[in-house]
A = this chain, B = another copy of it.
Amino acid sequence: MDLNALRTAHPDHWSKATAIRALTLDAVAEANSGHSGMPMGMADVATVLFEKHLKFDAADPLWPDRDRFILSAGHGSMLLYSILHLVGDAQFPIEEIKNFRQMGARTAGHPENFLADAVETTTGPLGQGIANSVGFAMAEEIQRAHYGAKVVDHHTYVIAGDGCLMEGVSQEAITLAGRHQLSKLIVLWDNNNITIDGPVTLSDSTDQVARFKAAGWHTIEIDGHNPNEIDAALTEARKSDQPTMIACKTHIALGHAAQDTSKGHGALTDADQMAAAKAAYGWTTGPFEVPGDVKSAWEEIGKRGASERAAWEERFDKMPRSKRETFNRALAFETPKKLSATIKAFKKQMSEAAPKLATRASSEKVLEVLNPILPETVGGSADLTGSNNTKTGDLGVFDTDNRGGRYVYWGVREHGMAAAMNGMALHGGIRPYGGTFMCFTDYARPSMRLAALMKIPTVFVMTHDSIGLGEDGPTHQPVEHLAISRATPNTYVFRPADTIETAESWEIAFSSKNTPSVLSLTRQGLPTVRTEHKNTNMVEKGAYVLADAEGKRQVILIATGSEVSVALAARDLLQAEGIGVRVVSMPCMELFAAQDEAYRKRVLPGGAVRVGVEAGVRQGWDRWLFGERGKFGKAAFVGMDRFGASAPAEELFEKFGITAEGVAAAAKDLL
């Protein structure tokens, strides 16, 4: 690259873009760790985007109608941090840049949404940002339909790398965006032909432009170092009625000895090479120093949106009060006052009616009463609507001609659904929930983990939650998936036993602000076990005594979900023999673990043998069987220690011994 020519042709642009490059080199060198090349390659694109197109106000990074900027290639975090510092974001003083990748800094190795207001989403695991962005763009469409374009009218811009586009989830994302013609979604592809192992061509020969076209996108190809081309492309993209992918041909680590090599992807810390690069840029200030005029020019960019924001606030204030309240309430993930009363009334009705229902059907009943009072919910399913029971009558279907529709047919895209739901939650104003078979937790895992890490309340509705699904067999029968979700920090895993517990689980999931929920629901019908109405949300306690021992308490059976009724039946068998049995329902281990010790001890006192019952693996159960003051050595677990099989459900429960008789026998063995 002839840097001199670039610099001479566009001197003002050049100095602004070079500030990003210089700060990146300095921060990575100081940390002796990080990724220099991507910010150096995409500095021109990002500069033009922030200078001329992105609607934002550095003074208020949370302005609800800002354009969203998503750095899907999250390893290039210094691109974002440099810009946030340059535009004057108060959370990014130069000290933060100097502390890049150090303990407690906002400038984490990869951008983390919960560390800084201007970081829209947590990226780093490749493909997640671009898949989140689909949810951001859908959320904008839905909110615009609900509140009008005067209040909601913004774009979602994404910078994605070759790695993002190689990840499978990117295909789920771009085909969704193409299907729904999300014209306000604009992806800038950092087309630098370099990955860690070498040139992209080592492992990929995809014609990305043709691929995006095949998915229904508008595409533009530009020189990613030419500010005029970048500007024109962004202008064209904003006018398109399709989502747009701009292929930006760039040089990774522009101007550095490592330019255009895979070495350029990583940490460029050699002092001589850094000096040479800065000299080639014509950059003469010391480390972490930005010339005053360049900093001022960037700060002007940071203020560019201030008047637009003020005008927006005026328009917002003119909305009817109730709409404003709903808008703000949803943005804060707060619940309407009537949620609690609605749940209580529903529970009362159901404990009286005591229906025999699969909990997936119970869940639908709950959603039928909650969706109407929570206009911010958006439901969906990854092509299992009738099986996941996620669609209720009032939602309407999100489509090109019904942007206000609150139900999404996600197609066979579990991962894309999970990532886009995260995007909706991150965008704000939407409470997303979506379903698939629990076994396909596996497909959605990367985004489910990120929901937990990002502290957002996405709800994953996982039906067909055990061998109880029967004939579809072991590929579809979750065995380890409860353990997987429970192993994940900051995740509620609910396994309700009946309609009442299902309602209580939903109440918690829809009231959560910072924690995602997994609802583990059955395919098969279950009796109502909570026939005595209580206003208290018992699931909130995590576990509670459902039926106490008659006579001396010799056995405690602890069960979840579909196995609670098995435990109750086992109790009948044992009590008939004069053995006193307490049954504890444990719909949420995480919430039980969060109770104080006194409560936990009341529910699980010593002096009795314990049997855990769950149609899944034992992993995670020993804490409750032994670790919490169980009588030493006197505990057993009735569950699965292998994959399931294809056969009718009742036969499978027999085969694997998850029956009242099996549980009673396990308890008697211990006595």
- Measured CB to CB, the residues of A under 8 A from B are 31, 33-34, 74, 101-105, 108-110, 112, 122-126, 162-164, 166-172, 175-176, 178-179, 195-198, 200, 202-208, 210-211, 213-216, 381, 383-387, 409-413, 415-416, 439-440, 442-443, 445-446, 449-450, 452-453, 470-476, 479-480, 483-484, 486-490, 617-620, 622-623, 625-627, 629, 631-633, 635, 640-643, 645-648, 651-652, 655
Contacts and interface: CB of A to CB of B under 8 A. Distances in A.
Given A170-B171, A383-B163, A471-B34, A446 B453 contact: no
Contact of A484 (B172, B470, B487, B645): B487
Nearest to A107: B646
A384 B202 CA distance: 13
B643 A473 contact: no
A624 B157 CA distance: 50
Count identical subunits in the complex.
2
Contacts of A652: 103
Contact of A489 (B450, B479, B627): B479
Contact of A619 (B179, B381, B483, B629): B483
The 3 A-B residue pairs with the shortest CB-CB distance in the complex, in nearest-first order = A168-B168, A203-B411, A622-B622
A483 B487 contact: yes
Given A196-B384, A617-B487, A412 B108 contact: no
Contacts of A443: 125, 167, 445-446
A58 to B, nearest CB: 23
Nearest to A415: B168
A642 B489 CA distance: 5
B197 A475 contact: no
A480 B473 contact: no
Nearest to A631: B632
Contact of A472 (B109, B200, B203): B109
B31 A471 contact: yes
Nearest to A474: B453
A473 B110 contact: yes
Given A384-B197, A480-B487, A475 B124 contact: yes
Contact of A647 (B101, B125, B164, B633): B101
A70 B204 CA distance: 24
B204 A210 contact: no
A627 B200 CA distance: 50
Contacts of A410: 203
A214 B110 CA distance: 31
B475 A74 contact: yes
A168 B31 contact: no
Given A124-B473, A490-B642, A446 B450 contact: no
A452 B475 CA distance: 11
A167 to B, nearest CB: 6
A619 B168 contact: no
B206 A619 contact: no
A513 B335 CA distance: 54
Given A33-B470, A213-B214, 19 more contacts: A34-B471, A103-B651, A103-B652, A110-B475, A168-B169, A168-B170, A197-B384, A197-B386, A203-B409, A205-B216, A210-B210, A442-B445, A449-B480, A452-B643, A480-B487, A619-B620, A626-B627, A626-B632, A631-B632
Contacts of A474: 108, 112, 453
Contacts of A384: 196-197
Contacts of A123: 475
A643 B453 contact: yes
A107 B206 CA distance: 39
B205 A211 contact: no
Nearest to A196: B383
A123 B472 CA distance: 11
A206 B175 contact: yes
20 contacts: A34-B471, A101-B473, A102-B646, A110-B472, A122-B475, A171-B171, A175-B204, A175-B206, A179-B204, A197-B386, A206-B214, A208-B214, A445-B445, A483-B483, A484-B487, A486-B619, A489-B643, A622-B622, A622-B625, A629-B633
Contacts of A204: 175, 179, 411
Nearest to A167: B412
A126 B412 contact: yes
Contacts of A619: 483, 486-487, 619-620
B213 A475 contact: no
Given A163-B412, A442-B446, A489-B479, A109 B196 contact: no
Contacts of A642: 489-490
Contact of A476 (B109, B171, B413, B415): B109
A178 B484 CA distance: 34
Query: Which among A108, A210, A476, A622 has the greatest number of chain B C-beta atoms within 10 A?
Result: A622
Nearest to A172: B168
Contacts of A211: 211, 214-215
Contacts of A169: 168
A450 B471 contact: no
A413 B385 CA distance: 29
Contacts of A381: 197
Contacts of A102: 646-648
A88 to B, nearest CB: 24
B203 A103 contact: no
A122 B474 CA distance: 10
Contacts of A473: 101, 108-110, 112, 124
Contact of A626 (B210, B215, B626, B645): B626
B110 A476 contact: yes
A370 to B, nearest CB: 22
A24 B479 CA distance: 29
A169 B166 CA distance: 10
A490 B643 contact: yes
A560 to B, nearest CB: 15
A551 to B, nearest CB: 26
Nearest to A216: B205
Contact of A166 (B216, B385, B413, B641): B413
Given A109-B472, A110-B475, A103 B647 contact: yes
Query: Which among A104, A175, A176, A200 has the greatest number of chain B C-beta atoms within 10 A?
Result: A175
Given A216-B206, A641-B489, A167 B413 contact: yes
